[in-house]
Structure formats: structure tokens, C-alpha cells
Amino acid sequence: MGNFHNLDNEEVIFIYITNKKFLDNYDKLFQLGGVESVLDISETTLISTFKEFSEQDLLDIIEEPHYKYCQVVDEKLTPIIELIRESIPGLYEKVEESFKKQEE
């Protein structure tokens, strides 16, 4: 694959993974029916809270432009990412590793 408007393959993968994280968070919200937050107070203490959303709240989120943009971007980038993964093995994992380091 080449450059797409000056985006190289690594940058396309970066955008894809970033967007995928948004979609994963939305999926988790829809599965749980709300938002969970965990606060690490100390090595032995965690505080967990949960805000339940109504069915209408969840339907409203599905109609939000941000959610729809995330879906469209994922649909468009997925075949490009598959081509990159097939043609340049290991590149996806290299970019993915940068996200794992940020999560530590």
C-alpha cells in the first residue's frame, strides 16, 4: 500500500486503531447498558460505580454523529487494514504496540 493524502501505512493503522477503541467503548456501553467507572484508590482498594442508561438513552447514542462516524470510518478502513496486514506482516502489531505502551 502507498500513501493516502500523505498518510503512510503506519498512520492509517494508527487512525484505525484509535477509531476501533471508540467503537469498543461504545460496544461495551451497549452490552452493559450503561457506563462503569473504576477508581484505583490504593493497592488493595478499588471503587466501582455504574450509571445505567435507559433504552431511550442508548437509542439516542446510536443516533449520535460521533458513533455514526466511527462506524463509517471502521467500515472504510477495515479492508485497507486487511491489505496492509497481508502485504506488510508485522506492521500492524508494531503500531498496536505503541497503544499498549500508552496503557501501561
* Domain ranges within the chain, ordered by starting residue: 9-103
What pLDDT sits at residue 76? Answer: 96
Q: For 73-85, what is each residue's pLDDT tens digit?
A: 999 999 999 999 9
Q: For 40-54, what is each residue's pLDDT tens digit?
A: 888 889 999 999 999
What backbone phi and psi angles, to 5 degrees, belong to 82? -60, -40
Whether pTM > 0.85 for this model: the answer is no
CB count, 10 Å around CB of 45? 8
Percent share of the chain, pLDDT over 90: 78
Give the residue ranges of DSSP H helices in 1-104.
Answer: 9-32, 55-62, 65-87, 91-103
What backbone phi and psi angles, to 5 degrees, belong to 88? -135, 75
When pLDDT is cut at 50, 70 and 90, the band that residue 5 belongs to is confident
